[in-house]
Amino acid sequence: MRWMITIALIGFATNIVAQTTNWNSSPLNYQNSELNYNNSPLNYQNSPLNYQNSPLNYNSTNGVYNNTGNRIGYEVQSPQGVTNIFDNNGNRIGYSPSQTSK
């Protein structure tokens, strides 16, 4: 459910969209956090230096592509089931929470 909140601040209005967030999908949940080593680009499993994640690996099955077919990054699943999305330089640009509920 989405709520639109409008706040007037000294002559102009700012719209803020509030979303209901489930704890299992929240970035504040340590399971999803980049501070968790399993989600960190410092973990070799997630590193672009790992050949499995390299754009030079033409047999890679974890590439992420844009609408024009250009590779923009790769995805790696953590042991907890979180799917981490990294750009080609190893910067974490997103995640999908674990599909298991705890």
pLDDT tens-place string over residues 25-73: 777 888 888 899 999 999 999 999 999 999 999 899 999 999 999 999 9
Q: Answer whether residue 8 shows pLDDT above 60.
A: no
| DSSP annotation of 69 | S
Rounded (5°) CA angle 86-92-95: 85
